[in-house]
Amino acid sequence: MISVTGLTRQFRSNGKLLTAVSNLSFEVKAGEVYGLLGPNGAGKTTTLRMILGLLQPTCGDAVVDGFRVTRDSDEVKRRIGLVSASAGLYQWLTPREMLFFFADLYGVDPQKAAKRLSEISKLLDLSRFLDQRCATLSTGQKQRVTLARALIHDPPVMLLDEPTRGLDVVGTHIVFQYIEQLRSLGKAIVISTHRLDEASHVCDRMGLLHYGELRHEGTFPSLQQITGQTTLYDMFLQLLSTPPPESRAVPEVLPHVE
């Protein structure tokens, strides 16, 4: 469902060459939760932006449901649902109005959109506040609407960028339930996070990023065997003690970044 091959992104800033992501490759199957893990600045969000087609890779490519990001970015966007901690709601719209608005943006037929809204409302327990203005909703209710928005066009692929950032225990539990529901629906799911305790609970496989490179990949038991560490926390302490790579084989033709 998702195939990332040799994905690389470099920036030139103040005359210096910066590599945010270097030669990254991984795959995610339908019904699988893949954790893209790493400290802040490891390249997680940059990777998601390239998969979404929002950021052109320096080299490499990603294929989503048969469509290449570098050639068919619009088709890729139609097949992805994005959940981001930084996403907001239109405060003067109701959840019903906002979800229909996004369904229309994705070209979903109105009758099909109504059916999808009914299904998602049951899935995420939205019915009690579907017709309240978003400005009046509680934090937990707003979170449920954000999760629903990513599903309204029924995408086969879901990208979750730090989905529990700033949430309390109850909010985090809602996200965990949501991920389990996505898995049961057969979605291919990528979660970007630096909260290692959460990743070990929800991810089938994990890729450990450091300085933009995929250092280790596998199930939790296989990562324990590879690294000789018993916890993800210890695995990352081990990674953080390693110096950045001195050189990387990447193209010299780069986009200019102010």
Q: Is the pLDDT of residue 22 over 70?
A: yes
Q: How confident is the model at residue 59 (pLDDT cuts 50, 70, 90)?
A: very high
Strand order in the sheet with 213-218: 80-84, 157-161, 188-193, 33-37, 205-210, 213-218
Phi, psi of 18 (to 5 degrees): -115, 130
What would the pLDDT profile of 230-244 be if each residue is shown by its tens digit?
A: 988 898 888 888 877
pLDDT of residue 253: 41
Predicted pLDDT of residue 103 = 95
Residue 6 has phi, psi (to 5 degrees) of: 60, 30
Residue 60 contacts residue 46 (beta carbons within 8 Å): no
Do residues 99 and 39 lie in contact, with contact meaning Cβ atoms separated by under 8 Å?
no
d(CA 180, CA 61): 28
Question: Per-residue pLDDT averaged across 45-67, rounded?
Answer: 94
Q: Which domain holds residue 148?
A: 88-154
Residue 57 covered by a domain: yes
What pLDDT score was predicted for residue 238?
Answer: 87
Count of domains observed in the chain: 2
- Specify the 3-state DSSP secondary structure of 124: helix
179 occurs within a structural domain: yes
- The answer on 252 and 162 residing in a single domain is yes
Helix (H, G, I), strand (E, B) or coil at 228: coil
**CB distance 136 to 59 below 8 Å:** no
Give me the residue label for tokens 């700033």. Answer: 166
Residue 221 included in any domain: no
* Percent of the chain clearing pLDDT 90 (strictly above): 62
Of 254 and 12, more confident: 12
On the question of pLDDT at 7 being above 70, the answer is: yes
pLDDT in the model for residue 257: 36
- Please tell me the distance from the alpha carbon of residue 180 to that of residue 186, in angstroms, as a whole number: 10
If asked whether residues 43 and 110 sit together in one domain, one would say no
What is the average pLDDT score of the chain? Answer: 88
Question: What pLDDT is attached to residue 248?
Answer: 45
| Start-to-end CA span in the chain (Å) | 35
The yes-or-no verdict on residue 4 having pLDDT over 70 is yes
Say whether both 184 and 255 belong to one domain. yes
Residue 8's DSSP bridge partners are 59
Would you state the pLDDT for residue 71? 93
CA gyration radius, the chain: 19
Of 87 and 115, more confident? 115
- Classify residue 5 as exposed, middle or buried by CB count within 10 Å of its CB (0-12, 13-18, 19+): middle
Q: Is residue 45 included in any domain, yes or no? A: yes
Give the model confidence (pLDDT) of 118-156 as tens digits.
999 998 889 999 999 999 998 888 888 999 999 999 999
Q: Are 247 and 217 in contact, with CB atoms under 8 Å apart? A: no
- Domain assignment of residue 225, yes or no: no
Least confident of 8-17, 93-102, 179-188: 8-17
